[in-house]
Amino acid sequence: MEAYRYPDGSITYPGHPIGPGGEEPVDTVDLSDYTAEVITWTTSTAAPPGVREPNTLAIVEFDVDGEPVRAIGGVTTGDEVAIGDEVRPVYVEELREPGAGIREPDSQEWDGYRFEPV
């Protein structure tokens, strides 16, 4: 779960060739080493092809040594989550069935992290 750190101290997930301050990244941070707080969440019952249904998703915020970094991901426990909960990233080999949807399977990675309440 690689995030980029930029010269002004800001961190983004995903990383970008140029950061919010207009400068190129200087370092990476593995967010899977940290816990995060749930900012908001939803349970989607109208999932597109190749996606689990229902699909509970959350926007979470990591605190990386005082620098906030946000990410989105599925929740491992369904809708048993609340704003303000602490979660940790849990690795999942295949988040969504590659090729079931419109996107070319080889154009991106399909593994990643879901969030599990601590």
Partner 1 sequence: MENVAIIGASMTQFGRRDGWVLDLLSEAGTACLDDAGVSPDAVDHLYVSNMASGEFEGQTGIMNAIAHDLAAMPAYTARIDQTSSSGGAGVKHAWQSVASGASDMTLLVGAEKMTHRTTPEATDVIASITHPVEYKHGVTLPSFAGLTARLYLDTYDAPRESLGKVAVKNHKHGVHNPHAQFRKEVDLDTVLESPIVADPLRLYDFCPITDGSAALMFCPESVAKEYTDDYVLVPGVGGATDTHVVHERADPTTMRGVVESSRIAYDMADVGPDDVDVAELHDMFTILEFLQSEDLGFFEKGEGWKAIEEGRTEMGGDMPINPSGGLKSKGHPLGASGVAQVYEIYEQLMGEAGKRQVGDADTGLACNVGGFGNCVITTLMEAN
50-75 CB burial, b ≥16 within 10 A, e <16: ebeeebbbbbbebebeeeebebebbb
Q: Which residue's CB is nearer to partner 1, number 27 or number 42?
A: 42
Site for partner 1 in 17-76 (CB under 8 A): 39-52, 55, 57-59, 70-74
Minimum distance from residue 15 beta carbon to partner 1 (Å): 10
Going by C-alpha positions, the residue among 27, 21, 117, 115 that lies closest to residue 74 is: 115
User: What SS3 state is found at 110?
Assistant: coil
Pick the closer one to partner 1 by CB: 7 or 101: 101
Count of residues touching partner 1 (by CB under 8 A): 38
**Least distance (Å) from partner 1 to the CB of residue 26?**
19
